[in-house]
Amino acid sequence: MARPYWSGQITISLVSFSVKLFVATEAKSQITFHQISRSTGERVRYQKVTASAAEAQQSQQDSGEEAPAAAPTVRNDEIVKGYEYQKGQYVIVEPSELANLRVPSKHSMEVTQFVDAAQIDPEYFEKPYFVVPENDSQTQAFAVVRQALKETKKIALSKIAFGGREHVVAIAPAQDDEYGGMMAYTMRYAEELRDARDYFRDIKKVEVDEDSLSLAKELIKRKAAKFDPSKFVDGYEVALKELVQAKIEHAPIPKDEAVAPQRGKVISLMDALRKSIGSEAPEEAAPAKKKPVAKAAPAKGIALVKSEKAKPAKAAKRRSA
């Protein structure tokens, strides 16, 4: 198992138990780029230099010197953080001072409230983490709190400090009950989200036609399915691999094909919805063959199920007529 990203306690009033957090995501991109000089084909590298040395080098270059002196590179152990409180004036902050900041949430997530999951807008969620008990002795309290959250359909809100800042964090039972884990999601602060009114206020107000709405609902129903994340593939990554492979093999470069503008008869929203529903007809909605009369009880049951499945298709046929 990978090393935990954070270890500490979850505290709810007088109840506390130790947990470990593991990052739940990882980058899967297999194509990475370097910066290359177009003229020489060499990789471009950057050096860390002081501002004064870079300015002196630029001054030599501007004065017409053919080979300005190279600016000396600053070693990593010589670099510290600095806050500019006035123009050109910095207060230096040492790594040891940052490590010793007095932030209680560095070591403990104190739950301040519980909320309904539906009350949190998805745009507030940022990054997921797996939450597991620190060891077997912590599992009992962990399991009780997890089950309580699940049965009450609540999410615990707390704060956690890592990565150079303090985050709001939501703690919830994992959807998969097989292993009994929990999830923690770091969240964005309200001021980090732009005001939606600035983008939505100019949307024209229109009345929703009931017939169009009914057809739209039917279209949604036809395309509804259980979420399967494995069905989604990064198309950009696929196209990028094709491009790189074509260049390696000196093959023709695949190019994006512009979508041709649709010309011809302009169809109404209602017609578009009707045609969409027809193109999304479920497989079981195909015209059924005439069924023989079933005599045995099992056959009756099967005939009944088939008859019920066929009903949506008949209804759709009447609507599209």
The pLDDT tens digits of the residues spanning 156-207 come to: 999 999 988 999 999 999 988 888 999 999 999 999 999 999 999 999 999 9
15 pLDDT higher than 50? yes
Please give the distance of CA 6 from its chain centroid, rounded to a whole number: 21
Do both 10 and 146 map to the same domain? yes
The structure's pTM equals 0.70
By the 8 A CB rule, do 256 and 310 touch? no
What is the C-alpha to C-alpha distance for residues 206 and 194, in angstroms, rounded to an integer? 25
Return the structure tokens found at 29.
């991109």
* pLDDT above 90: percentage of residues in the chain: 41
What is the edge-to-edge ordering of all strands in the sheet holding 15-23?
108-110, 6-12, 15-23, 125-133, 182-187, 165-173, 154-162, 113-116
pLDDT, residue 68, reads 59
Do both 252 and 120 map to the same domain? no
pLDDT, residue 307, reads 36
Q: Could you tell me what percentage of the chain is helix, strand and coil, using 3-state DSSP and rounding each to the nearest 5?
A: 40, 20, 40
What is the C-alpha to C-alpha distance for residues 146 and 138, in angstroms, rounded to an integer? 12
- Domain encompassing residue 243: 211-258+265-282
172 backbone dihedrals φ, ψ, rounded to 5°: -145, 155
H-assigned helices in 157-196: none
223 pLDDT higher than 60? yes
What is the C-alpha to C-alpha distance for residues 150 and 143, in angstroms, rounded to an integer? 10
The pLDDT tens digits of the residues spanning 71-99 come to: 778 888 888 899 999 898 999 988 888 88
Do both 112 and 228 map to the same domain? no
Do both 127 and 270 map to the same domain? no
- 303 band by pLDDT with thresholds 50, 70 and 90: very low
Nearest to 114 by CA among 140, 150, 61: 150
Do both 23 and 135 map to the same domain? yes
Tokens 């060499």: give the residue.
Answer: 42
CA distances from 206 to 62, 203, 253 (A): 62, 9, 46
Q: What is the number of structural domains in the chain?
A: 2
Do both 165 and 245 map to the same domain? no
Do both 184 and 223 map to the same domain? no
- Asked if the structure places residue 59 within a domain, the reply is no
- Asked if the structure places residue 138 within a domain, the reply is yes
- 293 band by pLDDT with thresholds 50, 70 and 90: very low
- 51 band by pLDDT with thresholds 50, 70 and 90: confident
Do both 215 and 180 map to the same domain? no
